[in-house]
Amino acid sequence: MSRDLGIVGLGRTSYAEALGLQRRLAQQRVDHALDQDLLLLVEHNPVVTLGRGSKDSSMPFPAEALAARGVEVFEVERGGDVTFHGPGQLVGYPIFDLAEHKKDLHWFMRRLEAALITALGELGVPGERNEGLTGVWTGGRKIASLGIHVKQWVTWHGFALNVTTDLSYFDLIVPCGITGVEMTSVQKELDERTPRDVWNRSLDSVILGFAEAFDQEPHALALDDLVTLTPVPSP
């Protein structure tokens, strides 16, 4: 097992582009063309994604109404219900081979929660689990959502941590299908007035949280490095 964790910062990237990259890298991890776990860190333009467990009741407004607000809609293969991604939200896509950790999806989800709880603790926000639900809360308010897909024990999709997110977007959906849930953000919990500072601290804290949760050594990778490491397999 490699203890290396490649951290790939994608900046602001379209959801479609990031989804295509995840699928490509996950397949290369399945094919053993990529020999280390990756964590892609990204910020998206406004988008609503519908997981395999999505219910009609979780989308009270039609896609046309969301489009009028500049929100794209994607149906994807991850587990879970409806969620929102947008500016100010730190989205992480772990491309992990669980055969090198533990072949247990429940374990992996709890480790993701642990990573985010550690990250929030570093920021001064007390993170917590909510019995019977997936994700991370603070003071009864939801601050991070999780949803993954697995193929031959390789994961993609992942988590969304609200850092400086405009929380009004969540009024357009029933987040994760949980009626009455109150969403919050790191910035709101800290009453933070310097968004870029809290964003950079959140990035560092999430990387630390993953390193501790999965006992790995994080190191930065550029996309150019990644292409070099993962040649496209011959057809």
Q: Where are the domains of the chain?
A: 4-229
Specify whether 176 is catalytic: yes
Using CA atoms, how far residue 197 sits from 53, 204, 207, in Å, is 36, 11, 16
Per-residue confidence (pLDDT) for residue 77, from 0 to 100: 94
How many C-beta atoms surround the C-beta of residue 7 within 10 A?
18
Helix axes 195-214, 105-123, angle to 10 degrees: 140
pTM for the model stands at: 0.93
Nearest residue to 153 via CA among 201, 200, 94: 94
Per-residue pLDDT of the chain (235 residues; tens, 9 = 90+): 668 999 999 999 999 999 999 999 999 999 999 999 999 999 999 999 999 999 889 899 888 889 998 999 999 999 989 999 999 999 999 999 999 999 999 999 999 999 999 999 999 999 999 999 999 999 999 999 999 999 999 999 999 999 999 999 999 999 988 888 999 999 999 997 778 899 999 999 999 999 999 999 999 998 887 766 655 444 3
Class in CATH terms, 4-229: alpha beta
Nearest residue to 89 via CA among 8, 210, 203: 203
The secondary structure element, H or E, covering residue 147 is strand 141-151
Per-residue confidence (pLDDT) for residue 50, from 0 to 100: 92
Per-residue confidence (pLDDT) for residue 228, from 0 to 100: 62
Q: CA torsion 173→178→181→187, rounded to 10°?
A: -70
Options 115, 136, 176, 213, the catalytic residue? 176
Per-residue confidence (pLDDT) for residue 180, from 0 to 100: 86
